[in-house]
Structure formats: structure tokens, C-alpha cells
DNA sequence: GTCTATAAGGAGATAGAC
DNA sequence: GTCTATCTCCTTATAGAC
């Protein structure tokens, strides 16, 4: 393993454990067994390192998301994609990378942190990377749930992201919430719980009246075609 | 306004904006217009300050949560409390404190941060303060949703907490997710969206088979009506 | 109680020898 | 490419005058 890779591995682990802001470059080089100057030589700055760590992982995950969504889209056409499949296409790839390797949940926790660590550089990096992805998912969701106002649809999908991100970031928090009574760590079970909860939540009857609210989106389809109150 | 209070106000604002770890005591004293040494004189340390900031706010919110839950509990007796009311009892008090004063969402964002800023001191402080509250809510939830396994029930309530915390912490993230198309800031609408989504999610058909896991509780509806098995 | 001054150390980043 | 040494800045915390 060459020096840049050693640094990336160590940084990933530390970012997952302590967060981006709280991880010092000095702790990274100590964990990687390389020199202090190596990070700046290879990545330029701390922000450059964070960016590189993500670039290595976020791409494949988002590609898998799009691939799954395309698959479900094709299978459902010309009907809208079922809610469950939209949610699964978004959630599963984020967990998939976890169960493959021994490192377990390091990646998952780092990505969870990416969603919850607000403000500043990190948030900007995330947004840059997933903007296109979100447009894609919202487009599909709009067809599946036309009875929701644009606003409520966006809120609901943000709830899905939040629930997923939180459980990715700190699976052990679940155990804490239950005073240790509940086992933790089975990714397949977690995915299943998330799918049930989020799908039902997305499909809940609309809260907004569908009226003046629907916002026209450039390049998107007209929102709120038929108004059906479906559970 | 005396010095300790000035410090608490300024700290609250900064913690909400930048997070606990990223807020330096120097920025707090600068914002409060007091001296560097004042914090240590009045609160002993940074951790002492964090603790004091929460002690001032978390108590009343959790008291309001319990009060609401008791009210709904009494109104429903001897039936289980409806899911919507359990969720509302948990969510509304966290937003209520927001809309009262001009400070707007400072408090809300700080509490959101409290939920999402994982690890270390802050998490320990939170857990200490809300342990009793969680036991109470889970007890009520167990009666309302006896068809869920204990594990799935705990997961689902953690999703509720996550969704709420995320929107409390960064309401502007919603706007970002939607490329700025969606307006933000109406607390009552946000509560309404959360209630719909979370209630439906909690009430979704069980994913787990109810076997050895479920803790038996008296007085529930039949379990697992129309269940389509999905991984 | 409040201030100035300062201690003691960690942060990110860089220059220059090898 | 990798190292040592160092710069500059910022952090928490404290000592002691007023």
C-alpha cells in the first residue's frame, strides 16, 4: 500500500470515528505511519484530503443508486416506480459497501457523518457530489407521488435521508436509546426496518392542500397531475 | 442581563451555528462582550458551559413532552394512545420554544445538533438528560404498537428522532436539497409534515416476524394484516 | 467580579535538506 | 517522495492586579 492510500485509509477511519472537524492531520499521519508533510504533499490541504476520501467512495455508491433506480424504472415502465423500490435504490447501496469488507461500518459511519455534520466545507463537498443524484430521485418520486405538493415531497425525502444517515452514522445509538436491550449491527435487518418505515411515511396522505403550492421546475414534468388521496 | 446570562445567550447562538466542538470559548466571550476569563470563573470549563446551556433549556422541553403525553394518555384511556399523539408529544415541544421569541430557531438548531453531534461529552450529556424520557415514550409506544417486535419498535422511534433532529438542526438543508425551490421556516408546516410521515412510518406493517422477540403487552390490535414480504 | 497578561500546547501549513 | 525543523495562528486555562 503506497503512502497516499495509507493516508486515505487512516483518514477514513478517523473521520468516521471523530468527525471531520475534530480529526487533526497530525492524528491522521500518526495512524497512517507516515510523515506530517506527506498529506500536504499529496493532497495539498485538509480540505483536499476530505475531498479525496469522498471521491474514492461516493462515486461508486451513487452509481449503484442510479443503476438500481434505472433497473426498477425499466421494470415498472410505463407505471411509476413503486415507493419501496425508490427508497431501496437510495438506501441499499449506502449499506452495501459496509458488509463486503472487514472494516465493517467505517465507511457507513463516515457517510452518515457527512450528512449530519453541517455547515462549511464538508456540507459543500457533499452537495456538490450528490446534486445530480437528488434531482434524479426527486423526478422519479414526483411521478410516483403526484398527490403531494412539491414542498411536502421534498420534506419527506429529506426525512428518509435523515433517518438513513443517522443509523449509518451511529448504529450504536440505537442500542443506547433502548438501554442496551436491542441488538445492533445486522445491516440487512436495518435496511428492512428503514424500508418499511420510510415507504409508509412517504405514502402517507398529503398534509398540504394541493393548490398554489406546486412549484414549477425547469426541465421537470408538471407536478400534481391527479389528486388521489392514497394511504 | 448579568455576565453568566450574557455568556449563556452567546454560547447558545454559537453552538447552534457552528456546533459544540467548533465553537471556541474566545468566540463566545467576544460575542457576549465579556472577558476571556469570565467563562472559567462562572462555569469552570467548556464542558461546564455546555452543560449549563442545556440545563437551562432541556428541562422545560422534556417537561412539556411528558405533560403532553400524559394529557393524551388520559384522554385515550383505557385505549392505547394514538400514534399521532405520541409523535406530536415528542416533536411539538422541541419546536414550540422556537416560535415564541425573536431568536427564532437558535434553540431548535442547537437541540438538533445535540442529537446529531455524536460521540464524547455532548452525547453523554444528552443521554443523561433524556434517558427517563425515552423509557416513558417507549412504554406508551409498546402499548400502541404491540404487533412490532421490541427491536423494530426501537428502530422506528429512532427514525422519528433522527428526522426531527435533522430538520431542527438545519432547516436550510431542505432548501438545499431542493435546489432552493422549496420555502423553509414555517414551524407549523414542518411539524405537520413530520407528524404525517412519522406516524405513517411507525404504523407500517411489521417487518420482523413476531416470535420470541416481542415483549408481550396487554391490549393491542391484531398483528401483521396485509404483509407483503420484502427483503 | 472583572480585567490583563501569559502559560502551555495543538492546529494547519511550508521550507529546505536528503 | 520523504524527512526534520519551524512558522504562525489559535486553543483552553490560569495567575494575579485592580
**DSSP string spanning A8-45?**
HHHHHHHHHHH-STT--HHHHHHHHT--HHHHHHHHSS
Chain-chain contact of B197 with A192 (C-beta, under 8 angstroms): no
What is the Cα–Cα distance from A36 to A40, expressed in whole angstroms?
Answer: 8
pLDDT band at A76 (very low <50, low <70, confident <90, very high): very high
pLDDT band at A218 (very low <50, low <70, confident <90, very high): very low
Q: Is residue A137 situated within a structural domain?
A: yes
> Global pTM?
0.86
Mean residue pLDDT across chain A = 84
pLDDT band at A169 (very low <50, low <70, confident <90, very high): confident
Q: In this structure, is the dihedral angle defined by the CA atoms of residues B26, B32, B37 and B41, taken in order, positive or negative?
A: negative
The 10 Å Cβ neighbour count of residue B221 is: 10
Q: How high is the pLDDT of residue B95?
A: 86
pLDDT band at A176 (very low <50, low <70, confident <90, very high): confident
Of the ranges A77-86, A100-109, A110-119, B127-136, which one carries the lowest mean pLDDT score? A100-109
Task: Please measure the distance between the N-terminal and C-terminal CA atoms of chain A and give it in whole angstroms.
Answer: 53
Distances in Å between the alpha carbon of A96 and those of A7, A10, A68, A91, B108? 23, 21, 12, 9, 33
A126 closest CA partner among A136, A139, A137, A112 = A112
pLDDT surpasses 50 at A17: yes
**Contact list, A155 vs chain B (CB under 8 Å):** 167, 174, 182, 190, 193, 197
| Cβ contact B6:B32 at 8 Å | yes
pLDDT band at B222 (very low <50, low <70, confident <90, very high): very low
Q: How high is the pLDDT of residue A159?
A: 97
Could you tell me which residue, A170 or A36, shows the higher pLDDT?
A: A36
Phi, psi of A21 (to 5 degrees): -65, -35
Q: How high is the pLDDT of residue A103?
A: 60
pLDDT surpasses 80 at B92: yes
| Å between CA of B35 and C1' of C1 | 11
What is the Cα–Cα distance from A167 to B230, expressed in whole angstroms?
Answer: 20
Location of C-alpha cell 465493517: A104
Q: Can you tell me the mean pLDDT for B43-67?
A: 88
| Cβ contact B38:B29 at 8 Å | yes
| Cβ contact B222:B147 at 8 Å | yes
| Å between CA of A51 and C1' of C17 | 31
The beta-carbon neighbor of B158 closest among A118, A174, A181 is A174
Mutate to test the interface with A, among B17, B150, B158, B160 (most CBs of A within 10 A): B158
**Contact list, B22 vs chain A (CB under 8 Å):** 21, 119
| Cβ contact B158:A173 at 8 Å | yes
Q: Can you tell me the mean pLDDT for B80-92?
A: 97
Residues 6+ apart with CB under 8 A from B75: none
pLDDT band at A231 (very low <50, low <70, confident <90, very high): very low
Q: How high is the pLDDT of residue B192?
A: 96
**Nearest residue of B to residue A191, measured between CA atoms:** B231
Q: Which nucleotide C1' is nearest A38 CA?
A: D2
Q: Is residue A32 situated within a structural domain?
A: no
Chain-chain contact of B158 with A165 (C-beta, under 8 angstroms): no
Of the ranges B81-90, B171-180, B192-201, which one carries the lowest mean pLDDT score? B171-180
Q: Is residue A37 situated within a structural domain?
A: no
pLDDT surpasses 70 at A217: no
What is the Cα–Cα distance from B194 to B47, expressed in whole angstroms?
Answer: 32
Closest Cα of chain A to B50: distance in Å?
A: 17
Q: How high is the pLDDT of residue A109?
A: 80
Q: How high is the pLDDT of residue A226?
A: 36
Q: Is residue A159 situated within a structural domain?
A: yes
Q: Is residue A64 situated within a structural domain?
A: yes
Residues 6+ apart with CB under 8 A from A210: A147, A148, A149, A224, A227
Q: How high is the pLDDT of residue B7?
A: 93
Closest Cα of chain A to B6: distance in Å?
A: 25
| The three cell numbers locating residue A196 | 418499511
pLDDT surpasses 70 at A225: no
What is the Cα–Cα distance from B32 to B45, expressed in whole angstroms?
Answer: 16
Protein-covered nucleotides of chain D (CB closer than 7 Å) are 1-6, 10-16
Closest Cα of chain B to A213: distance in Å?
A: 9
**Contact list, B113 vs chain A (CB under 8 Å):** 118
pLDDT surpasses 90 at A89: yes
Q: How high is the pLDDT of residue A124?
A: 73
Q: Is residue B212 situated within a structural domain?
A: no
Could you tell me which residue, B121 or A9, shows the higher pLDDT?
A: A9
pLDDT band at B151 (very low <50, low <70, confident <90, very high): very high
Q: Is residue B192 situated within a structural domain?
A: yes
The percent of residues in chain B predicted with pLDDT above 70, rounded, is 82
Q: How high is the pLDDT of residue A119?
A: 59
pLDDT tens, position by position, A46-56: 989 998 998 88
Task: Provide the angle, in degrees to the nearest 10, between the axes of the packed helices B150-169 and B106-116.
Answer: 140
Domain, as residue range, for B142: 54-203
Residue A182 is part of a domain; what is its CATH number?
A: 1.10.357.10
**Nearest residue of A to residue B112, measured between CA atoms:** A116
Closest Cα of chain B to A163: distance in Å?
A: 5
A130 closest CA partner among A86, A85, A83, A94 = A94
Q: Which nucleotide C1' is nearest A21 CA?
A: C11
Chain-chain contact of A174 with B154 (C-beta, under 8 angstroms): yes
The alpha-carbon radius of gyration of chain B (Å, integer) is 20
What is the Cα–Cα distance from A228 to B14, expressed in whole angstroms?
Answer: 45
Provide the number of structural domains found in chain A.
Answer: 1
| Cβ contact B77:B42 at 8 Å | no
Mean residue pLDDT across chain B = 82
Q: Can you tell me the mean pLDDT for A108-127?
A: 72
Q: Is residue A217 situated within a structural domain?
A: no
A-B C-beta contacts closer than 8 Å: 183
Is the N-terminal amide bond of B8 cis, ω within 30° of 0?
Answer: no
| Å between CA of B50 and C1' of C4 | 26
Chain-chain contact of A192 with B207 (C-beta, under 8 angstroms): yes
The beta-carbon neighbor of A159 closest among B18, B156, B197 is B197
State the number of CA atoms in the 13 A half-sphere of B113 facing the CB.
Answer: 24
pLDDT band at A118 (very low <50, low <70, confident <90, very high): low
Max distance between CA atoms of chain A, in angstroms, equals 62
pLDDT tens, position by position, B109-124: 787 777 766 555 666 6
A227 closest CA partner among B208, A107, A214, B31 = A214
What is the Cα–Cα distance from B54 to A183, expressed in whole angstroms?
Answer: 30
What is the Cα–Cα distance from A68 to A13, expressed in whole angstroms?
Answer: 28
Could you tell me which residue, A31 or A1, shows the higher pLDDT?
A: A31
| The three cell numbers locating residue A77 | 415502465
CA A179, A181, A182: angle at the middle one, nearest 5?
A: 110
| Å between CA of A22 and C1' of C9 | 16
Amino acid at each position: 500500500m503506497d503512502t497516499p492510500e495509507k493516508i486515505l485509509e487512516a483518514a477514513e477511519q478517523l473521520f468516521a470515528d471523530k468527525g471531520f472537524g475534530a480529526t487533526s492531520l497530525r492524528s491522521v499521519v500518526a495512524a497512517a505511519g507516515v510523515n506530517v508533510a506527506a498529506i500536504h504533499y499529496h493532497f495539498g490541504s485538509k480540505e483536499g484530503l476530505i475531498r479525496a476520501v469522498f471521491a474514492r467512495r461516493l462515486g461508486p455508491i451513487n452509481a449503484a443508486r442510479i443503476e438500481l433506480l434505472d433497473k426498477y424504472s425499466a421494470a415498472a415502465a410505463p407505471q411509476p416506480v413503486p415507493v419501496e423500490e425508490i427508497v431501496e435504490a437510495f438506501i441499499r447501496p449506502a449499506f452495501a459497501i459496509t458488509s463486503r469488507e472487514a472494516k465493517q461500518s467505517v465507511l457507513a459511519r463516515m457517510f452518515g457523518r457527512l450528512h449530519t455534520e453541517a455547515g462549511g466545507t464538508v456540507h459543500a463537498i457533499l452537495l456538490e457530489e450528490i446534486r445530480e443524484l437528488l434531482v434524479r430521485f426527486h423526478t422519479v418520486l414526483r411521478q410516483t407521488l403526484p398527490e403531494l405538493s412539491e414542498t411536502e415531497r421534498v420534506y419527506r425525502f429529506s426525512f428518509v435521508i435523515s433517518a438513513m444517515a443517522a443509523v449509518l452514522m451511529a448504529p450504536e445509538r440505537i442500542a443506547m436509546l433502548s438501554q442496551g436491550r436491542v441488538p445492533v449491527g445486522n445491516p440487512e435487518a436495518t435496511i428492512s426496518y428503514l424500508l418499511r418505515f420510510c415507504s409508509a411515511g412517504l405514502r402517507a396522505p398529503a398534509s398540504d392542500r394541493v393548490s398554489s403550492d406546486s412549484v414549477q421546475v425547469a426541465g421537470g414534468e408538471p407536478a400534481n397531475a391527479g389528486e388521489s388521496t392514497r394511504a
